[in-house]
Amino acid sequence: MLVTTLSCALPGRIAGIAAVEVGYDFVACPQGPPTPTLVFHGLNDKVAPIAGNSVFVPVADVMAAVAKRNGCIAGPQTAAHGSTATTLSWTGCAVPTVLYELKSHGHAWPGHVLPISEYTLESAIASGSGTVGSGLTPKQMAENVLLSNTQVDASQVIRDFFTAVAS
């Protein structure tokens, strides 16, 4: 993720990280400064599966690296966020370290379904290479991108997270 790379390359210049659908290697910068981190990941993401695959690191490994970098001594503590999400918050950290695991959610922005039909999206994807991310067909990719948990609004949660961190 670009923001993680920047937080390593520009220590102290990145005030916080908010990421949707992680799976890239946070482990690449274990000695970076503690950075408030908020992550959202769909349990039904077929592009970057929560358990990882040959391309993406398991989210549990990503969050373990983040927790270590952020000086967390325990965690995570879990809490239900409505009936469609679980919040995992690490404790004893130098800075907030939080993961939202989203039920009924694919590779999409939480809280907002794309205003496009599955057919139109599938056609747009098909006009590219024919298969995308993790070998998905254009139809499978379109279905996964349109599967969005609307109970958690990532935009609002991110805004609240950064407001709290800045206080």
Q: Out of 17-26, 84-93, 146-155, pick the least confident.
A: 17-26
- DSSP class of residue 70 equals T
At 26, the pLDDT band (50, 70, 90 cuts) reads low
Q: Out of 8-17, 43-52, 73-82, 102-111, pick the least confident.
A: 8-17
pLDDT greater at residue 124 or residue 28: 124
Residue 150 and residue 152: Cα distance in Å, rounded?
Answer: 6
- DSSP class of residue 23 equals -
Q: Taking residues 43-68, what's their average pLDDT?
A: 89
Angle between helices 118-126 and 138-146 in degrees, nearest 10: 130
Q: Is the pLDDT at 27 greater than 60, yes or no? A: no
Q: What Å distances lie between residue 109 and 3, 28, 64, 85, 112, CA to CA? A: 17, 25, 23, 14, 6
pLDDT score recorded for residue 97: 96
Q: Taking residues 13-21, what's their average pLDDT?
A: 88
Helices (H), the chain: 2-9, 59-69, 118-126, 138-146, 154-166
Q: What Å distances lie between residue 104 and 19, 54, 55, 107, 153, CA to CA? A: 18, 23, 22, 10, 14
Residue 31 and residue 8: Cα distance in Å, rounded?
Answer: 8
pLDDT score recorded for residue 132: 56
Q: Taking residues 49-61, what's their average pLDDT?
A: 88
pLDDT greater at residue 5 or residue 157: 157
Cross-strand partners of 22: none
Pairing of strands 74-80, 85-91: antiparallel
- Say what the pTM is: 0.89
- What are the tens digits of pLDDT across the range 83-136? 999 999 999 999 999 999 999 999 899 998 888 899 998 888 888 755 555 678
Is the separation of the CB atoms in 89 and 100 below 8 Å? no
Query: Per-domain residue ranges for the chain?
Result: 2-111+151-161
pLDDT score recorded for residue 28: 62
Residue 119 and residue 139: Cα distance in Å, rounded?
Answer: 8
